[in-house]
Structure 1
Amino acid sequence: MSIYAPQTVEARARRTRAGRVLGVTLLLVAAAVLGPQAFASDQPGEPVAVNAYTVAAGETLWDIAASLTPSGADVRDMIREIQHLNSMPTTDLAAGEQIYLPVQ
C-alpha cells in the first residue's frame, strides 16, 4: 500500500512531465540561439583564389578533384576542399552546375 494519496501521485507525475518538457524546451531554445555563435568568428577567413567551373555531363566530383590534385597527394583532401568552397553537403553534381575550384 502506498503512503501517497492517488491525487498526490498524479499531481507529482504531472509536475515531473511538465518539468521535463520545460527543460527540453529551454535546452532547444538555448541551442538555437547559441549554436551558430559557437562556430562564428570575428576574424575574416583567408581569401582563396578560385575558378568558376561548369560540370559536364557524366563528370563526378572525384574526376574533377583528381585532375586538380598534385601528384602524391590524396584526392579525398581535394574533394573536401571543393565541398567546403561550395558548401556542398554531398558529392552529388548535376550537369551544367557551376562550382568553384581552388586555383592551383
Structure 2
Amino acid sequence: MTTMAIGATGLRDVGRRPAQARPRPAHGEGPLTLTARGRAVVVLLALVLVGVLAMRATGADAEAPEGALAVTTHVVASGETLWAIAAGVADPGEDVRDVVLELQRLNRLPSAGLMAGQSIVVPAQG
C-alpha cells in the first residue's frame, strides 16, 4: 500500500522512504560519547589518582620527630649563659654543643646570647 499526497505540483508518492542517515554534527558539536575502552581508561585513571592521593596522605615523614618533646620554662638569671643551661639539662655523655644548638632551635634564638629575665624553654628532666 502506498500513501499519496496531492500538492500544487500534482500527485506524488509519500509512502515508504528509505531510512536516511542522521546528519553528523560538525567537529566540536554534539554530546561526548565514549567507547567501552574509553570508559575503562577513564575509570583506571581515576583509580590511579585516588591511590596516589591515598598513599600521599598516609605517608610518614622521615624528618619528623617520633614524639613530642616535653619542655619546661626557665627564666634566665643574671650572668647565666646558654652553655650553662645546656650543661645542666644535657644527658650524661651528650655533647653540650648539640644541646646548645637544640636550645637555640627550640627558642628560635638568633645567637647564644641571653638576657637576664628572659624566659626560654628547655627539655624537661626525667
Do residues 65 (structure 1) and 86 (structure 2) align? Answer: yes
SS of structure 2 residue aligned to 1:90: coil
Figure out how many residues of one structure are paired with residues of the other and give that number.
62
Q: 2:110 corresponds to which residue?
A: 89
User: Where does the alignment leave 5 or more consecutive residues of structure 1 unmatched?
Assistant: 1-42
User: Where does the alignment leave 5 or more consecutive residues of structure 2 unmatched?
Assistant: 1-60
AA matched with 1:102: P
User: Which structure is richer in relative contact order (CA contacts within 8 A, separation 6 or more)?
Assistant: 1
More strand by share: 2
More helix by share: 1
AA matched with 1:48: L
- Percent identical across equivalent pairs? 45
1:1-80 equivalence runs, <5 A: 46-80=67-101
In the TM superposition, what is the alpha-carbon distance from 1:48 to its structure 2 partner?
1.9
AA matched with 1:76: R
- Deviations 1:22-75 (Å, cap 9, x if unpaired)? xxxxxxxxxxxxxxxxxxxxx786532110000000000000000111221100
Partners of 1:99 and 1:65 in 2: how far apart? 12
TM-score, structure 1 as length reference: 0.54
Q: If you compute each CA radius of gyration, which structure gives the higher value, 1 or 2?
A: 2
Do residues 101 (structure 1) and 83 (structure 2) align? Answer: no
Partners of 1:84 and 1:96 in 2: how far apart? 19
SS of structure 2 residue aligned to 1:88: coil
Q: 2:11 corresponds to which residue?
A: none
